Chains A and B, each alone.
Chain A
């Protein structure tokens, strides 16, 4: 995993968190974790294809997810992960990844994304073909958002 993949994701997440909830995020300690990774209560899985391939898994607690879902929905009271809340969280993941992929394209990596899939539940474990995950924890006053990045260069 290249270090140059880190900043596009961190920057994209900062921007989206700021835009959606008008709050700041700060980066916690980065770690490299070997697959499988342990998820949180709400996990948004988005695939990357193109010059880079792999998976991004954005993990957050249900409480944090509900706060951001509500913000995405114009402050609609959101107290359960209903269809509307799930689509809002999926879209937020999409926005982060859309920005990250744009930043990567400025570094010469051209990629596309797969639609987000939501995994919801306790003790979720995700295994991927790519063995190393870069774990980027972001702290906000609404809770932690962890972005797990498993990408490899594709020399097709």
Chain B
């Protein structure tokens, strides 16, 4: 239990003692009440200076997350390593070098994790930066594609196929020199042209004994719905459907990933960029993508209309504007003693709304500060 000034209260905090109306002894709010903004304003109105707050107790759900998170992080890392093995050892002349069993096993794991707790998984993949972009990117694109596939009502077999196709979408990059795709800086026109060939290379690699969808995803994930993509400039339904899914996942993950030659975009900037370029994507899929990833996706730092700042840690189903937040700063901009979990989709929190997302600079500063202040917090 700790004492806190009333102007440092945030919704979601829990009272450790009754709050009494001064000079009357009448209970305004009983102990154990979870505060709403209405209550906080009411307390302030009575000129009450300080109240006692209980340490944030973890719900069963949160305790579960704490157990699950390291397991998921480990599986994710393992997946990246397996993909690296698989892709770098991929023998383009010997198609038997491709191991369907390994791929299926890997995607099976990812599927299971997405089903278990997709938000937690996205949270984890987000907070890391990998040296080996190509392989972590493959795993992340697979995860996001599976999430979209789930919304489309795909069967397990279809999800598996989509997941494998997404894992292998950039396999054509292998034919491009390591120096080029790991390059620290802008590509020369020649290098750029070379990189733009990776879909064709990918299709050549995968041509022989692969299901058509897997080959098509490698070949067509840079095609755009309006015909502005490459290599063929295919349009609309000429583009393989799974390739249209992977295109969205690919752009999103590429934007939010740290690369040597540019800063990462915030998750919300990535969403904005995709919507700004909406003609390039299947409009139906884009809607599903926005409902799945949300307008304020996981990892976004946001400010509420009442001033508090927090990070999106969960997306509420079909409520793309009302995620679950972990609040880190009170309305005066002071770091909280403990993060406070706040579900904007909960009935009592509807007078709150997300006013804006933090700019890339603020996002970077705040995420470093938060990581330092709450090192083990998800």
B351 touches A88 (CB 8 A): no
Chain A residue numbers with a CB within 8 Å of B176 are: none
Chain A residue numbers with a CB within 8 Å of B287 are: 76, 82-84
B271 touches A114 (CB 8 A): no
B38 touches A50 (CB 8 A): yes
Total contacting residues, chain B, CB less than 8 A: 31
B278 touches A110 (CB 8 A): no
B278 touches A76 (CB 8 A): yes
B42 touches A110 (CB 8 A): yes
Smallest beta-carbon distance B288→chain A, Å: 9
Q: Mark A63-84, 1 if CB is under 8 A from B, else 0.
A: 0000000001111110000111
A84 touches B41 (CB 8 A): no
Q: Mark A102-120, 1 if CB is under 8 A from B, else 0.
A: 1001001011111110000
Query: Is there a chain A Cβ closer than 8 Å to B291's Cβ?
Result: yes
Smallest beta-carbon distance B300→chain A, Å: 13
Smallest beta-carbon distance A91→chain B, Å: 4
A114 touches B321 (CB 8 A): no
Query: Is there a chain A Cβ closer than 8 Å to B92's Cβ?
Result: no
Q: Mark B49-90, 1 if CB is under 8 A from A, else 0.
A: 000000000000000000000000000000000000000000
Chain B residue numbers with a CB within 8 Å of A110 are: 38, 41-42, 45
Q: With A and B bound together, what is the CA distance between A81 and B37 in angstroms?
A: 31
- Knowing A77-B278, A114-B347 are in contact, say whether A105-B41 is a contact too (CB < 8 A): yes
Query: Is there a chain B Cβ closer than 8 Å to A6's Cβ?
Result: no
Query: Is there a chain A Cβ closer than 8 Å to B352's Cβ?
Result: yes
Smallest beta-carbon distance B342→chain A, Å: 14
Smallest beta-carbon distance A98→chain B, Å: 5
- Knowing A110-B42, A112-B36 are in contact, say whether A98-B352 is a contact too (CB < 8 A): yes
| Chain B, Cβ-Cβ closest to A96 | B353
Chain A residue numbers with a CB within 8 Å of B285 are: none
Query: Is there a chain B Cβ closer than 8 Å to A42's Cβ?
Result: no
Query: Is there a chain B Cβ closer than 8 Å to A95's Cβ?
Result: yes
Query: Is there a chain A Cβ closer than 8 Å to B101's Cβ?
Result: no
A84 touches B38 (CB 8 A): no
With beta carbons under 8 angstroms apart, the residue of B345, B347, B351 that contacts A98 is: B351
- Knowing A76-B278, A87-B318, A114-B347 are in contact, say whether A98-B41 is a contact too (CB < 8 A): no
A112 touches B351 (CB 8 A): yes
- Knowing A110-B38, A110-B42, A112-B36 are in contact, say whether A74-B353 is a contact too (CB < 8 A): no
Q: With A and B bound together, what is the CA distance between A75 and B305 in angstroms?
A: 22
Q: With A and B bound together, what is the CA distance between A105 and B351 in angstroms?
A: 12
Smallest beta-carbon distance B370→chain A, Å: 25
Q: Mark B312-324, 1 if CB is under 8 A from A, else 0.
A: 0000001111100
A73 touches B38 (CB 8 A): no
- Sorted from nearest, which 3 A-B pairs have the closest CB atoms? A91-B321, A112-B38, A74-B275
| CB pairs A–B below 8 angstroms (11 shown) | A74-B271, A75-B275, A75-B276, A76-B286, A84-B291, A87-B318, A101-B351, A105-B41, A112-B351, A115-B347, A116-B350
Given A50-B38, A83-B287, A102-B351, 11 new contacts (CB under 8 A): A73-B290, A75-B275, A87-B319, A88-B321, A94-B350, A94-B353, A95-B305, A98-B350, A112-B38, A114-B350, A115-B345
